[in-house]
Structure 1
Amino acid sequence: MKSYILLILLSVILIGCQNKDNNSSKIPVAAKIQDTVSSMEESKEKIPDSIAIVKSKSTHGLILTSNALQIINKNTGSTCEIPFGKPFDQMIEIINNVLQSKPKTIGINSECGAGPLKMVSWNNGLTVVFQNKKSESKTSETNWQFAGWFVGSNSKNSKKISTMAGIGIGSTRAEMESAYVLSVSKTSLGYEFSTSSGLFGIFDGPKKESKITSLWSGLSCNFR
């Protein structure tokens, strides 16, 4: 019965996403993404409380975006955003369902500048970062919420994860600059770059053919 209910919820959500995609088919990709971000402030219906929202890895994928992640329907191109603030349990099962894979590691780093961060990593190089938000109640229950993501090197057998523009680990500086306006500076981490929208990363050198070795958005635990 639970699976039947979740499938009904899935159908409702995907129909809503597809309708939106059809209505905006003539809008540039960048505008679509911005519209999605704006509409999330007005409506919380895109990502339901239900954590089972996809059926198979063949029809859905995960997209990197600033201050969020997105689920894309590969058949229709419609997307549903997963914004920062999503509870830990729901977030993990959403990603497990999309990637059709369970995390390879789960741990807490207590030495980060933002305080203790819970980090969950998958074989495709994705690490999702959670911050413990204090509850309004006086209980001592932990309340880990989605607060950032990081992508590094991945397993050779796993599929590359990227932004809507196709930018990911291994993309060149020239490719990055063709898709985003960015600033680059030499830091203790290397040739570090950032965009005004909130994407950050590292190139392995200063040249146009230099490649991205790390990419992240939101809270991170980088030591400079």
Structure 2
Amino acid sequence: MTIKLLPAALTALGLLAACSPEAEKPVANKVTANEAEIIVPSAPPEVNIANASEEAAGVGLNLAPDELTLVLPNGSSRHVGFGMAKAEAVKMISAALGSPIEEAVNQDCGAGALGYAAFRNGLSLYFEEGKFAGWDLDGRENGKFTTGNGIGIGTTRKELEASGSAVDVGETSIGNEFMMGGLSGLLSTPAPDGKVTNLWAGTTCIAR
């Protein structure tokens, strides 16, 4: 059976098509970090941003004993220091890594209940009383993040000791643990060629 549309019906359909709203376009969010603006790309409406893997183009991240540092494409840096409010710290790190894949509170930490925000590539931020208090990096992304002098996952004990800081290594309940200034972590073995498998600083929730 063929259905014929009368001219009036065709006109009505044309008007409806003209009035239909255009599909929403992704909008970039702006994050102000230490008086500099960082553009955080938003995922399209049909994409769950929690599963998006894109990182903000050109924004790097370095590790430090008392902060995380964003490195902008122009070479300038913005500091996410311990003591910063949780909301601001998460926004700034999201500028480099995208939104957290998990946010919750862990009640079983040695330091008491700590909030945390877990990002892609094995980096987690910890919060005490709403303030950024520490970070933890596991080995899911070998060499993805390092300190300013190149210390990160995969660094050997020999390289740690060559960095100029005293390295204290001992066997604990969680493995071959080392401390170097304000940094702590685990080595695959205590031998000179033993590699860093985990790295953390500040107040974290390391299971012992």
Q: TM-score under structure 2 normalisation?
A: 0.71
Letter of the 2:128 partner, please give it.
Q
Equivalenced residues, count: 166
Q: Secondary structure at the match of 2:37?
A: coil
1:29-40 paired onto structure 2 within 5 Å: none
The answer for unaligned runs of 5 or more in structure 1 is 11-46, 133-143
- Evaluate the alpha carbon distance shift between residue 185 and residue 217 of structure 1 in structure 2; reply closer, same or farther with a 3 A threshold: same
What's the offset of the Cα at 1:72? 1.5
Q: TM-score scaled to structure 1, two decimals?
A: 0.66
**SS where residue 121 of structure 2 aligns?**
coil
Q: Does 1:113 align with 2:110?
A: yes
- Are residue 88 (structure 1) and residue 86 (structure 2) matched? yes
Question: Identity rate of aligned residues, in percent?
Answer: 33
Q: Deviations over 1:115-174 (max 9, x none)?
A: 100111111110000011xxxxxxxxxxx1100000002258xx8111111111122111
Distance across 1 between alignment mates of 2:74 and 2:189: 37
Instruction: Please say if 1:211 is aligned against 2:208.
Output: no
Unmatched 5+ residue regions in structure 2? 1-26, 41-55
Task: Answer with 1 or 2: which has the greater Rg.
Answer: 2
| Aligned equivalent of 1:145, options 117, 128, 131 | 131
Deviations 1:176-207 (A, max 9, x none): 222232111111111111112x1000101111
Greater strand proportion:
2
After superposition, where does 1:48-59 map in structure 2 within 5 Å? 48=35, 53-55=37-39, 57-59=56-58
Matched, 1:130 2:130: no
Of 148, 155, 173, the match for 2:157 = 173
1:71/1:115 CA distance change after superposition, 3 Å: same
CA distance in 1, matches of 2:160, 2:194: 10
RMSD: 2.6
